[in-house]
């Protein structure tokens, strides 16, 4: 399955519907779903991958690769690979070296990030409409 992710970055104050005190919440319900700690380890080889717009990470024991496919900083597009076999095949094509997940795909850890995030849920249909209405920067 091919997955293309589009990331849109925005300035918090430029998007009034995100402000807590806007007085007009977009969602009729927003449910708090607790907190979660996310552990990411990013891998590379002498910055070879990042210089080509490729980021490989292990997030909570799941491997992911993001391959830049266009856009700019504010509106970027990435292809996502989420199986070790697909990541291994892509990296073998890019680097000429085949390695598996048990070998960290032949890469070295470059950064370790742990963050605690707050989880919330909103009505899916309204969320999608809201995302389409966000202003572009």
If one compares 8 and 47, the residue with the highest pLDDT of the two is 47
Q: What is the mean pLDDT of the chain?
A: 80
> Span 58-73, mean pLDDT?
92
Neighbours of 15 (CB within 10 A): 15
pLDDT score, position 64? 97
Is the pLDDT at 23 greater than 60? The verdict is no
**Would you identify the CATH topology of the domain 34-122?**
Hypothetical Protein Pfu-838710-001 (2.40.320)
Distance CA 42, CA 114 (A): 11
Percent of the chain with pLDDT over 90: 47
Residue 66 confidence class, pLDDT cut points 50, 70, 90 = very high
Distances in Å between the alpha carbon of 72 and those of 4, 62, 127? 15, 27, 24
DSSP string, 38-55: EEEEEEESTTHHHHTTEE
Distance CA 18, CA 7 (A): 17
> Span 78-86, mean pLDDT?
95
pLDDT score, position 14? 55
Which pairs with CB-CB distance under 8 Å and at least 24 residues apart come from 115-120? 115/37, 115/38, 116/35, 116/36, 116/37, 116/38, 117/35, 117/36, 117/37, 117/38, 118/32, 118/34, 118/35, 119/32, 119/33, 119/34, 119/35, 119/36, 120/30, 120/31, 120/32, 120/33
Distance CA 27, CA 129 (A): 11
Is the pLDDT at 56 greater than 90? The verdict is yes
pLDDT score, position 32? 78
Distance CA 79, CA 62 (A): 17
pLDDT score, position 21? 45
Domain ranges of the chain: 34-122
Handedness of CA 40, 44, 48, 49 (dihedral sign): negative
Is the pLDDT at 134 greater than 50? The verdict is yes
């Amino acid at each position: 399955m091919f997955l293309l992710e589009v990331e849109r970055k925005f300035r918090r104050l430029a998007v009034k519907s995100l402000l807590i005190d806007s007085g007009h919440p977009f969602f009729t319900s927003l449910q708090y779903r607790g907190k979660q700690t996310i552990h990411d380890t990013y891998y590379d080889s002498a910055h070879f991958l990042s210089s080509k717009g490729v980021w490989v990470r292990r997030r909570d024991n799941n491997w992911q690769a993001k391959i830049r496919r266009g856009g700019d900083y504010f509106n970027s597009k990435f292809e996502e690979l989420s199986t070790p076999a697909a990541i291994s095949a892509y990296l073998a094509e890019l680097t000429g070296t085949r390695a598996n997940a048990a070998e960290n795909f032949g890469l070295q850890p470059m950064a370790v990030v742990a963050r605690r995030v707050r989880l919330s849920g909103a009505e899916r249909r309204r969320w999608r409409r809201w995302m389409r209405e966000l202003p572009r920067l």
